[in-house]
Structure 1
Amino acid sequence: MKATLTLLLLATFLLAAQNNTPKTPEEVVSLIKEHVTCDWLSETVDIYKAGDPHTPLKGIVTCMFADMNTLKKTVDLDCNFIITHEPIFYSHLDETETLQDEPVFREKINYIKKNGLVVFRFHDHIHMTQPDGISVGMINKLGLKPYSVDGSLTFFKLPEQTVKDYAQSLKSIFGMQSIRVVGNPELEFTNLAFMAGAPGGQRHIQMMRNPEVEVILAGEATEWETYLYANDAKELGKNKAVIFLGHIKSEEAGMEYCAEWLKTFVSGIPIHFIKNEANFVTF
């Protein structure tokens, strides 16, 4: 009787594992839709960007940008489904109508087709799910969780330090050659706001107006908005500064977290995170 029960439990476990082993990218996306905590939007950028979603699944890669280096590494890993956070074809909506005869686009799409790759964007809903998956991954990477103000994913109270010293520690965490600081690098601060990606200069400026915020840890911004305001604030003696990580480094750990999150409900399929190389050279 005991042996029979053991075999029954084993069969139940194997069946459950098999049910969580997707056969196609489409089945992976269906599982994602089941596990986010928000309703799936009818209008969203989170759609297939290239490839056939019914392609037999070999392995999954998560990344910030599905650039050519990432495509090649995916092939090297013998994977064929890429889940990217940001656009793949150079505009927010991946509008390709005017790119059909453009050589860079044409060679990239041909590489995707030749290697049977499928690309899906996962942007809106990883941010909308609770808690925001990109923020969770980044806060873990930055070690900010113990300093959260009332559990916030935006506001943190750090041990007092200078902007320069904190920027140096960020360079070490992310292995960056350089980091941009706008404002007084010798400013001693404790109150930090984290604003990943590219929310826009006006949102940065609105955050700097908050008397409780001294330093913003940001992704990227247009120079005539955030940069101009922060520099003017410095010249006027305001205790304000912005540290720019760049768009990739300000969100990338969220897609590393995404790979670990996928492993909690996808089994039997290799899942890898691919880190983007720096997209510029510092001299």
Structure 2
Amino acid sequence: MAITIQQVLDQLTAPAPALENTVDRLLTGDPGTSVTGIGITFMPTQQVIQQAADLGINLLITHEGPYYSHHSQTDWLQGDSVYAEKQGLIEASGLAMFRLHDYIHKYEPDGITAGLVQALDWEDCIDRIHPASTILDLPDMTVAEIADHLKLKLNVPYVRVVGDMTMRCRRTGLLVGYRGGGGNAIPLFVQENLDLIIAGEGPEWEAPEYVRDSWQQGRSRALIMLGHAESEAPGMKALAKRLETWFPAVPVHFLAEQPLYQIV
């Protein structure tokens, strides 16, 4: 029995309450089309879209939008050659693209954070779960050892660290994506008595500067920034595993990208 795009979308949104204001929508394609292959990705880059087309995928589920704006606005890109070429590739491929951002963050627990915890083998370390953060009691390790663990488990070339690399840590806050700003991260140090926060990204002059002042005052606090994609792609990879169980008759592929930044 054929599975339609709409059936897949219904399954993806079912674990969360209905959202009125959301960026999650079918960006291209017909919901009544039968699904021949599903691709899952964090970011629908030019390369990912081409790879999906080459694999015969006709439904791509992406966490972030294709056009460099959270709300997928494109008016400001009219006349831009990069936008035009990417749009042309999407149209030529016949690919249906569904943005799954808000709903997966509303899963219980947050599907993106849960995927990162799983990738790090820290599921047994969870102390409590908040809407925007997960609090962990880790085995006693130094900041440097935790940084090495992150790089190994996530297969990333680097992380950014603020604080004493030799400081020993246990109580840790995990904040994926763009949750590493001061308003989210700073209060957690006091409220949860944290040694360390591991975040995706945030403004460089907020939480990082707070941690630097804390360190210079002799307080045992540290911050590790993973990068936005590095913190959220594991959640989309975990979603691909779920889809394999939900729709076993449909080929499912996780489409990864290389790290965005190069170390020079």
TM range (shorter): over 0.9
Question: For 2:235, which of 247, 251, 254 is the aligned residue?
Answer: 254
Are residue 31 (structure 1) and residue 31 (structure 2) matched? no
Quote how far apart the aligned CAs of 1:54 are: 4.0
Match of 1:269 in 2: 250
Residue identity (%): 32
Runs (4 or more) in structure 1 with deviation over 6 Å come to none
Tell me the secondary structure at the aligned position of residue 136 of structure 1: helix
Change (3 A) 1:269 1:187: same
Hey, what does 2:105 align to over in structure 1? 127
Helix, strand or coil for the counterpart of 1:212? coil
Conserved 8 A contact 1:51-1:113: no
Cα distance in structure 1, aligned partners of 2:192 and 2:38:
44
TM-score normalised to the size of structure 1?
A: 0.87
Which of these residues, 118, 128, 140, is aligned with residue 160 of structure 1? 140
Q: 1:57 aligns with which of 3, 19, 35?
A: 35
CA pair 30-147 structure 1, distance change in 2 beyond 3 A = closer
* Cα distance in 2, alignment partners of residues 43 and 274 from structure 1: 28
CA contact (8 A) 2:120 2:154 kept: no
Do structure 1's residue 224 and structure 2's residue 205 form an aligned pair? yes
1:143 is aligned to: 121
Match of 1:171 among 141, 151, 159: 151
| Per-residue CA distance 1:116-156 (angstroms, 9 max, x = gap) | 11111111111112222112211111111111115777111
Q: Which is greater in Rg? A: 1
Greater helix content: 1
Once the two structures are superposed, residues 22-68 of structure 1 have per-residue CA deviations (whole angstroms, 9 ceiling, x without a partner) of 13x233212323x31x2221221111223444444321111111111
1:13 aligns with: none
Q: Closer, same or farther in 2 for the Cα pair 1:205/1:151, shift >3 Å?
A: closer
> What is the letter of the counterpart of residue 210 of structure 2?
Y
SS of the equivalent of 2:6 reads: helix
Equivalences for residues 184-263 of structure 1 within 5 A: 184-199=164-179, 200-210=181-191, 212-263=193-244
Q: Any idea what SS the aligned residue of 1:223 has?
A: coil
Per the TM alignment, residue 211 of structure 1 is displaced from its structure 2 partner at its CA by: 5.3
Give the 3 Å change call, closer, same or farther, for CA 203–101 of structure 1 in structure 2: same
CA distance in 2, matches of 1:177, 1:150: 29
Cα displacement (A) at 1:194: 0.7
Kept in 2, the 8 Å contact 1:49–1:88? The answer is no
**Partner of 2:57 in structure 1?**
79
1:12 alignment counterpart:
none
The alignment covers a number of residue pairs equal to 261
Q: Is the contact between residue 248 and residue 276 of structure 1 (CA under 8 Å) also seen in structure 2? A: no
Structure 1 residues without counterparts, runs of 5 or longer: 1-17
Deviations along 1:71-112, one digit per CA (max 9) or x if unpaired, are 111112111211011122111101111212111111101000
Distance, in Å, in 2 between the alignment partners of 1:65 and 1:151 is 26
Tell me the C-alpha RMSD between the 2 structures.
Answer: 1.7
Write the distance in 1 (CA, Å) between the matches of 2:235 and 2:166.
30
